[in-house]
């Protein structure tokens, strides 16, 4: 495991139609297709069951409005976890779908240097309502370095799978990590240490190590254009460029944003984090439309100043 030795600045009935079907049946089918097209043009998403070849799809067919909404299709509950009853991290809050008839992928989220889980609390209900179990954690101390935060993210995932109150609804093979600042550096460290993770999303990440060629986990790095603590020039961009060229990876830079942008509810962060988690934790290709082709950057009403991606993504 990499070691960081410096402190940082303070801080998601198929049915066959017979060739000989009656004209009235044909008119019904035509009318149904026309209605579907009308709804699609109006921006209304049509619910769709999970594809037979992908049992991990959760929720209705997505639309721009559905992944930008502050609440997804799942009702969410939460469970507080005391640091007294866990090992390897500082406790936290679990957000999870109330529907326990199926299993879900899970993501652990770390705060940054000197921060607590409250700085990341908005991710909990927003991502969980899209069909994930989300664990926003406190770290052992507020001054833990990135590699320690990476170990704590993994300890939190292990707790979710083995000991948590929601372990029965978690698919242990579909896990991910996220984190802000030193927690973002910890996200990279966790992905480096545990290649079987399905996704990693470092947010304005900070780490002394700039090369992550060994990472095998699909990774979306979200940087902030005006970050004066973890400058994209010396952190997010070198991290992205060092990831293997063969890896499914993306780099999103928030236009005019500061280092602390990920601490506040942000539709752009939510939209692309949810899409990344859906695409790689749930293998839900319905969300590929929001990632490939890559979204455009720049423009008066665009919150993205730069975007890089390795489209098309592997299956």
- Chain center to CA of 44: 24
Which one is catalytic: 171, 227, 282, 284? 227
Q: Is 110 in the active site? A: no
Separation CA 5–CA 28 (nearest Å): 69
The token pair that represents 171 in the structure block: 């698919």
The answer to whether 253 and 239 have CB atoms below 8 angstroms apart is: no
Q: Is 180 in the active site? A: no
Show the CA angle centred on residue 265, arms to residues 300 and 64, nearest 5°.
Answer: 60
CA distances from 61 to 51, 66, 72, 80, 213 (A): 11, 9, 12, 31, 35
Separation CA 38–CA 256 (nearest Å): 37
Cβ neighbors of 155 (< 8 A, separation 6 or more) are 86, 87, 88, 89
Q: Is 259 in the active site? A: yes
Separation CA 243–CA 231 (nearest Å): 18
The answer to whether 54 and 100 have CB atoms below 8 angstroms apart is: no
Which one is catalytic: 138, 259, 284, 305? 259
CB atoms under 10 Å from CB of 2, counted, come to: 17
Which one is catalytic: 181, 273, 275, 305? 181
In 3D space, the residue among 182, 215, 211 whose CA is nearest the CA of residue 200 turns out to be 215
Separation CA 185–CA 279 (nearest Å): 22
Separation CA 303–CA 66 (nearest Å): 18
The residue with tokens 């961009």 is 237
Q: Which residues are catalytic?
A: 181, 227, 259
């Amino acid at each position: 495991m990499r070691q960081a030795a410096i402190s940082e600045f303070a801080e998601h009935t198929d049915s066959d139609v017979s060739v000989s079907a009656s004209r009235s049946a044909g008119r019904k089918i035509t009318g149904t297709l026309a209605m579907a097209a009308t709804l699609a043009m109006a921006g209304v998403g049509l619910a769709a069951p999970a594809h037979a070849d992908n049992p991990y799809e959760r929720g209705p067919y997505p639309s721009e409005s559905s992944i930008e909404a502050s609440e997804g299709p799942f009702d969410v509950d939460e469970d507080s976890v005391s640091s007294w009853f866990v090992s390897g991290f500082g406790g936290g809050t679990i957000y999870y779908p109330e529907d326990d008839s199926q299993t879900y992928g899970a993501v652990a989220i770390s705060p940054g240097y000197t921060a607590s889980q409250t700085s990341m609390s908005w991710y909990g209900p927003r991502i969980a309502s899209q069909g994930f179990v989300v664990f926003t954690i406190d770290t052992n101390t507020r001054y833990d370095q990135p590699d320690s935060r990476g170990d704590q993210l993994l300890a939190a995932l292990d707790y979710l799978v083995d000991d948590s109150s929601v372990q029965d609804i978690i698919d242990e093979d579909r896990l991910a990590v996220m984190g802000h600042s030193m927690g973002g550096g910890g996200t990279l460290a966790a992905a480096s240490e545990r290649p079987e993770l399905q996704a990693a999303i470092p947010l304005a990440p900070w780490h002394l190590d700039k090369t992550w060629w060994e990472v095998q986990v699909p990774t979306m790095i979200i940087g902030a254009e005006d970050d004066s603590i973890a400058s994209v020039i010396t952190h997010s961009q070198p991290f992205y460029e060092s990831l293997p060229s063969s890896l499914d990876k993306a780099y999103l830079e928030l236009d005019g944003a500061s280092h602390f942008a990920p601490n506040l509810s942000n539709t752009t962060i939510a939209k692309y984090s949810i899409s990344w988690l859906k695409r790689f934790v749930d293998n839900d290709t319905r969300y590929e439309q929001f990632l490939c082709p890559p979204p455009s950057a720049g423009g008066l009403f665009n919150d993205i100043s730069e975007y890089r991606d390795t489209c098309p993504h592997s299956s």
